[in-house]
């Protein structure tokens, strides 16, 4: 068993002075907490275009990075895929860059979102009104690193479970619509 610090570097998201203001002629896009869904997916079409401040070129997110929302009630990790435009994340996130070539970003994000890691993070969180996770706490999360083949198999299993859950939710919604239609028909 390793810690996250053993296999990755963890940095704070991009620093902004004040609010992140939309600028249609800005040089990049910003992922904010509101753009990260409960399931960990990013709503790419909702990102704000802004002028990214700084004296040097911003550290743009790259495919394979993982972002982790460190403030607020949800502490979720998301593996970044298909970045098609210059994007940073707000300082409410940590950016995790894997240094271990035999680690799948999706697998590491899945572990960070797993109940065991989430329980550890919840116990170590600070603050009452605005809960936050310190970088050192995130870096000390235990990470299992099985062979790459096993990581891929687990992620296929996770994808199948998500698909099954979506299908079941659709069935439940369809049944509820049928019941509403029946009730509306009977109660007229």
pLDDT digits (tens, 9 = 90+) for 10-19: 999 998 887 8
Q: How far apart are CA 36 and CA 31, in angstroms?
A: 8
Q: Which of 52, 47, 7, 45 is nearest to 25 (CA)?
A: 52
pLDDT score of 173 more than 90: yes
- Which of 71-75, 83-87, 93-97 shows the lowest mean pLDDT across its residues? 71-75
Share of the chain above pLDDT 90, in %: 74
Reported as a pLDDT band with limits 50, 70 and 90, residue 57 is confident
* CB neighbourhood size of 82 (10 A): 7
Sign of the dihedral defined by the CA atoms of residues 37, 123, 104, 100, in that order: positive
Angstrom distances, CA of residue 56 to CA of 85, 90, 156? 18, 17, 40
Verdict on whether the full-model pTM lies above 0.75: yes
Burial class (CB in 10 A: 0-12, 13-18, 19+), 141: buried
Q: How far apart are CA 66 and CA 106, in angstroms?
A: 8
**Per-residue pLDDT tens digits for 112-170:** 999 999 999 999 888 877 889 999 999 999 999 999 999 999 999 999 999 999 999 99
**Topology of domain 2-145, CATH:** Adenine-n6-DNA-methyltransferase TaqI; Chain A, domain 2 (3.90.220)
Reported as a pLDDT band with limits 50, 70 and 90, residue 48 is very high
Reported as a pLDDT band with limits 50, 70 and 90, residue 85 is very high
């Amino acid at each position: 068993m390793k810690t996250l610090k053993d296999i990755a570097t963890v940095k704070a998201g991009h620093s902004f002075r004040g609010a992140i203001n939309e600028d249609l002629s800005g040089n990049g896009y910003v992922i904010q907490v509101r753009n990260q869904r409960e399931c960990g997916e990013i709503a790419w079409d909702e990102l704000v275009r802004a002028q990214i401040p700084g004296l040097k070129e911003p550290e743009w997110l790259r495919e394979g990075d993982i972002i982790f929302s460190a403030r607020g009630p949800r502490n979720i990790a998301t593996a970044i895929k298909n970045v098609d435009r210059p994007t940073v994340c707000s300082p409410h996130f940590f950016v995790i860059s894997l240094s271990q070539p035999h680690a799948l970003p999706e697998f590491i994000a899945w572990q960070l979102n797993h109940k065991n890691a989430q329980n550890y993070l919840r116990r170590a969180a600070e603050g009452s009104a605005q809960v936050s996770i310190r970088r050192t706490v995130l870096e000390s999360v235990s990470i299992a690193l099985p062979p790459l083949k096993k990581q891929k198999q687990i992620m296929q299993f996770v994808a199948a479970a998500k698909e099954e859950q979506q299908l079941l939710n659709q069935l439940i919604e369809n049944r509820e619509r049928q019941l509403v239609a029946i009730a509306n028909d009977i109660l007229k």
